[in-house]
Amino acid sequence: MAEMLVDKVLEPCHAKDPLVGHPPADQAIFGRPERGHAVHRGAAGKSMQTYDIIIGHPLHAVPNSEAYPFSAIALLAIEFESGAKGQGTGWFFSPSRIATAAHNLYHPRAGRAKTMLIRAGWTGSGELDQLAVSSCLVAPNWVGHWNEDDDWAIIATDHPGRAGVGWFGYQAFDGGYPPGLLLNVSGYPADTYGAAAELAPAQLVGAGAQYMDSGYLASATPTAIVYTISTGEGMSGSPVFVTLGNSRYAIGIHTQGLVTTNAGRRIDNQLEATLNAYWSH
């Protein structure tokens, strides 16, 4: 068994069996455990979907998911302890560490992820690298509370991503975001499981390809960013990233869909420090 990561702030993923290894080939399904699962929005208790297509913002297939920065984004094929199969997205913030949404590891309805197949730079028919989970960490208080402030997690992979995968930088803007900052979200919508009426506005085609959209910041709180960017179910855990100079920096983790906008867990100073603490080759 791989040694679990331990930190004063984070809790290890305790379970009867470790989240290690690949699911059997016939179980690596790109599905979703249950449509539009709810996550609680703090004290308000409002439920929300994990995706939303914004009118005038169709998702677009990325030009080449094996080229950086898209190569550093991975499809997560998940089997939950309930037997449900799901799909999520994660992104490398170091050669052997992935940031994602906590509900990809512990789903409010489907339960704990039992097995996970990580496909870095998945094209729909192949990938740059295929990895497994050696250990994981979820934010404190996520399990049982399901508050979006805690909807983030770190995955340690069984080996560093091969050459060509790469990783994102990340940055907190606790002092405020630069005006006119263009945001991007790229990930793996579970398009093969959507209804035609939902897929048409998003112009989704094919199975398992990586899609993205770009837009602007609509609002921000100390722990959340809200943006006018379309996402698809299965894109939870995607990086919300910006281009600064010639580099890409994640500023958030996509986690939820609202009504006319989508939102993610903001990378604040505390989360940035946590990522720094677990950065590893």
Low-confidence ranges of the chain (pLDDT < 50): 1-51, 192-207
Q: How far apart (Å, rounded) are the C-alpha atoms in residues 118 and 188?
A: 12
56 in a domain, yes or no?
A: yes
60 in a domain, yes or no?
A: yes
Helix or strand or coil: residue 214? strand
DSSP states along 41-100: BGGGTB---S-BPPTT---EE-S-TTSTTGGGEEEEEEEETTS-EEEEEEEEEETTEEEE
Tokens encoding 138: 């979820």
Domain of 164, CATH number, reads 2.40.10.120
pTM, to two decimals: 0.80
Q: Could you give phi then psi for residue 68, rounded to 5 degrees?
A: -65, 140
34 in a domain, yes or no?
A: no
Cα separation values, 212 from 59, 130, 150, 202, 209, Å:
5, 22, 24, 10, 10
Q: What is the largest CA-CA distance in the chain?
A: 48
Helix or strand or coil: residue 130? strand
Predicted pLDDT of residue 126:
85
Amino acid at 23: P
Tokens encoding 132: 């497994």
153 in a domain, yes or no?
A: yes
Residue 109's nearest CA partner among 43, 39, 44, 46 is 39
Q: How far apart (Å, rounded) are the C-alpha atoms in residues 186 and 230?
A: 10
Task: Name residue, tokens 């913002």.
Answer: 57
21 in a domain, yes or no?
A: no
Predicted pLDDT of residue 241:
97
| pLDDT per position as a tens digit, 227-245 | 999 888 889 999 999 999 9
269 in a domain, yes or no?
A: yes
219 in a domain, yes or no?
A: yes
Predicted pLDDT of residue 42:
30
Residue 104's nearest CA partner among 235, 267, 270 is 235
Helix or strand or coil: residue 262? strand
Evaluate whether 116 touches 107 at the Cβ level (below 8 Å).
no
Number of domains observed in the structure of the chain: 1
Predicted pLDDT of residue 56:
56
Predicted pLDDT of residue 190:
75
268 in a domain, yes or no?
A: yes
- DSSP tally for the chain: helices H, then strands E: 2, 17
Predicted pLDDT of residue 8:
26
Q: Which domain holds residue 128?
A: 47-278
